[in-house]
Structure 1
Amino acid sequence: MEDIPLSLLFLALGGLIILSGCFSGSETALMSINRYRMRHLARHGNRGASLAERLLQRPDRVLGVILLGNNFVNIAASSLATVIALRIHGESAIAIAAGLLTLVILIFAEVAPKTLAAVHPQRIAFPASYVLWPLLRLLYPLVWLVNSAANALLSIIRVRVEDVSGGNLSRDELRTVVNEASGLIPARHQRMLLGILDLEQAKVEDIMVPRPEIIGIDLNDPWPDSIERIATSQYTRLPVYRDSIDNIEGFIHLRKIIGEFYRGNFTPEDLCSRLTEPLFIPEGTGLHTQLLKFQHQRERVGLVVDEYGDILGLAALEDILEEVVGEFTTDPGSLTRSITRREDGTYLVEGSATVREINRVLGWNLSTAGPKTLNGLVLEQLETIPESGTSLLIDGYPVTIVQTHGNRVKAAEIQPERPKSTQRPKRQGISS
């Protein structure tokens, strides 16, 4: 060492500090890189992304080779700084050299490169992978020895490196990703993606037409009344029954009878001969599952039944698709078939409107674990059949009953915003 010029020693020390910064930066870059962007680039032939993906399949190994290299150059830099200090000012300069080297490494080999790598991980990680991959293969025996000792220590606290999941996202995390991508995905597409994610949680009873709202043809009604119902129906498939929906005979596809119907020679016997077998859907069936069943069975509508076989409502393929793509209504004044926006900014909502529909259209966050419709929410809260004009608060929003029919709420008026005095009500208020 005495024969080596000081300038060469300083140059070697600078090189070791640069190497330390490279190891530190590559560690941060590989740990903070966007795994999904990396996989996308790797699938499209990016060599650096492919190497980085292979390295991150076992993070313990890539960390092992990085830390081996980083510690080696830091120790070498410390030894070299000690030699330089002895050459310049003797033993009294060793402490000063240690302090200066710590400050230099902290700034130039730790904070600065790691900050750069955190801000631009892709720029650092991909080039570093070209060096780290052959270095890992070269030092694999030593890396394996170090990792084995470290993994044995981790196994004491029941941590297994082999259990690494690869960064798979949960449904809630996917929702966050979609919400955060508002600048990249149009709002309508965002809502569709979120609707697809929600299909896993929603059940058929969340979107079905309740039993009292089912429109069908009663074979025991006068035939002219049935003819009128067929002629004015807004649906293409109608249930056909006798006296009650419980005595279902089948479904009639109106488009398949349109020719005979308008020729005037259509009879009840013709109607019965064109019926198709009804599809029954157990309550509690998930929307995603039922969508696949509709697709597999080539059906578009089914009757939801409980454990006793009693019919609860009717679920259609259109209703499931509306959960994803939005409403198909063509009325410009209606946001959905059940919710209409008035000129004064209030909403006229039918009692049969589902809680999910209200949440989606009005931006509310009502619980879907209880009642499934607005009528159910009102009756649960009031515990009685309200009269027209009765007002109450639902989640802090004023709701006024507009019309009741028998034992249910037919329609209600909803204010779009909470009053300032009831932004966070402690309990629901009721007046009439």
Structure 2
Amino acid sequence: MTDTALWLSIAAVFLLLFLSGFFSGSETALTAASRARVHQLEKTGDWKAKIAARLIASRERLIGALLLGNNLVNILASALATTVFLNLFGEAGVAIATLVMTALVLVFAEVLPKTWAISNPERFALTVSPIVRFVVAVFGPIVAGVEVIVRLLLKMLGVKIGDEAGLLSAHDELRGAVDLQHMEGGLEKHDRDRFGGLLDLAELEVSDVMVHRTNMLALNADENPAYIVEAALAAPYTRLPLWRGETDNFIGVLHAKDLLRAMHAAGGDATKIDILEIAAPARFVPDTTTLQDQLNAFLRHKAHFALVVDEYGEVMGLVTLEDILEEIVGEIADEHDVELEGLRPQTDGSVIVDGSVPIRDLNRAADWSLPDDEATTIAGLVIHEARMIPEERQIFTFHGFRFTVLRREKNRITRLRIMPLGTGRVAPSATPAVPAQAAG
């Protein structure tokens, strides 16, 4: 081999290593790039983003073309390098070429370009996408043939390859992304909770967030109008359910603003007010309605309030638009909300909790993960796990916590002490408010 041919071969080896690095970096960037960010750039009119989005959409063809190009240049570079080293060192040139090419390919064609690409995959993907589009167009027919052969071989081995949906739904992927961002410090806890609450709407039912019937404030429509006006003014709620005859016979909902208008029209004389005339019809929803469906129903009907019934038509409680919004943004308190010391952190790291505190509120406040599938309140969770109604001072340990029953009234657990058994758990510092019966 002449000196000119030798130097041309060396130059060709380095050119091929550059191409190998290009293929490796492009594959990493285009597979790691966020489809959401690329889509957003495409919406702004970036033509490179449009090309990148199309390449990412046909990922199998893209990866096949880049792998084909990468293998071609690597094999050709290794063959040329072997020829060069054979001319320089004789038979020992094969071993030397293997060692040198392994080091060069590893550093300059794999690690360096992939590290560069992964540091900013979207920008790298947009830069290389016009060239990669040409590569995919050239190698596309070959890759298509390879895909057919691969699918046939996998089919022979009993492996089914199809276009079925992935194992994770879109909601699960979003939830995983939110949790990952929180662990990596990209999202604060309150932001993670809001995203999580929004994603939970399709999984939670109104029975999980409703105000239970035992905590409802309702008025007897047959009472003296003056008494009803006084009771409505004393109540911290804007909307109040009305019953007649029996306490479970709800016939309407009284809005404080409608009552105020009626009082003004009657010149301040409450005896002239017909409560049933100004009351709005009561809306009833099944307890199995999802929060997503109920939110849509509230928005569609421009309503804020509904009574929750079970499968027998018995009223179980009520749900408001505010109850659903609080699942997303957390507790919403105003100047009329009555604060309840339902959650009291102790110096020893434990918390004293009222039995009626919802598990979801406790998890959100303390950043715990107590299960809420079988029970809504913390007292319900203890009863479910204990398979009995505990006595006072009984202690139970489950889910990584020690639960001590501090107070019981009849068959209800009204106060508990909860001690985290693991390390690194922090007791909550906030006190939750009483669930709002209706927003203003």
TMscore range, shorter length? 0.7 to 0.9
SS at 2:69 equivalent: helix
2: CA distance, partners of 1:111 / 1:26? 13
Aligned length: 415
| Residue identity (%) | 33
Give the TM-score normalised by the residue count of structure 2: 0.80
Contact 2:210 2:323 survives alignment (8 Å): yes
The equivalent of 1:14 in structure 2 is: 14
1: CA distance, partners of 2:373 / 2:145? 54
SS at 2:136 equivalent: helix
Matched, 1:359 2:363: yes
C-alpha change, 1:399 and 1:319, in structure 2 (3 Å) is farther
2: CA distance, partners of 1:81 / 1:407? 84
Matched, 1:195 2:194: no
C-alpha change, 1:246 and 1:322, in structure 2 (3 Å) is same
Matched, 1:130 2:130: yes
The equivalent of 2:237 in structure 1 is: 235
2: CA distance, partners of 1:48 / 1:168? 29
Deviation of 1:38 after TM superposition, in Å, equals 2.5
Matched, 1:287 2:291: yes
The equivalent of 1:373 in structure 2 is: 377
The equivalent of 1:153 in structure 2 is: 153
Deviation of 1:138 after TM superposition, in Å, equals 3.0
1: CA distance, partners of 2:242 / 2:411? 25
Deviation of 1:281 after TM superposition, in Å, equals 0.8
Deviation of 1:12 after TM superposition, in Å, equals 1.8
1:344-423 equivalent positions in 2, closer than 5 A: 349-377=353-381, 379-380=383-384, 381=386, 383-384=388-389, 390=393, 392-393=395-396, 395=398, 396-402=401-407, 404=409, 407-409=411-413, 411-412=414-415, 414=417, 417-418=419-420
What do the CA deviations read for 1:153-175 (whole angstroms, capped 9, x no partner)?
3444444364576x986434322
The equivalent of 2:342 in structure 1 is: 339
C-alpha change, 1:80 and 1:346, in structure 2 (3 Å) is closer
1:20-419 equivalent positions in 2, closer than 5 A: 20-91=20-91, 93-156=93-156, 157-160=158-161, 162-163=163-164, 170-182=170-182, 183-185=185-187, 187-221=189-223, 225-261=227-263, 263-267=267-271, 270-330=274-334, 337=340, 339=342, 341=344, 349-377=353-381, 379-380=383-384, 381=386, 383-384=388-389, 390=393, 392-393=395-396, 395=398, 396-402=401-407, 404=409, 407-409=411-413, 411-412=414-415, 414=417, 417-418=419-420
Deviation of 1:69 after TM superposition, in Å, equals 2.0
Give the TM-score normalised by the residue count of structure 1: 0.82
Contact 1:401 1:412 survives alignment (8 Å): yes
Deviation of 1:304 after TM superposition, in Å, equals 1.0
2: CA distance, partners of 1:79 / 1:172? 48
Deviation of 1:2 after TM superposition, in Å, equals 5.1
SS at 2:274 equivalent: helix
1: CA distance, partners of 2:187 / 2:422? 34
Query: Highest relative contact order (Cα 8 Å, sep 6+), 1 or 2?
Result: 2
Aligned-residue CA RMSD (Å): 3.5
SS at 2:45 equivalent: coil
SS at 1:352 equivalent: coil
Deviation of 1:400 after TM superposition, in Å, equals 4.8
**Residue range with higher mean Cα deviation, 367-376 or 270-279:** 367-376
Structure 1: gaps (5+ residues): 424-432
Deviation of 1:291 after TM superposition, in Å, equals 0.8
C-alpha change, 1:286 and 1:2, in structure 2 (3 Å) is same
1: CA distance, partners of 2:252 / 2:336? 34
C-alpha change, 1:110 and 1:403, in structure 2 (3 Å) is closer
SS at 1:257 equivalent: helix
- Report the AA paired with residue 299 of structure 1: A
The equivalent of 2:434 in structure 1 is: none
1: CA distance, partners of 2:95 / 2:193? 63
- Report the AA paired with residue 80 of structure 1: L
C-alpha change, 1:155 and 1:223, in structure 2 (3 Å) is same
Deviation of 1:321 after TM superposition, in Å, equals 1.3
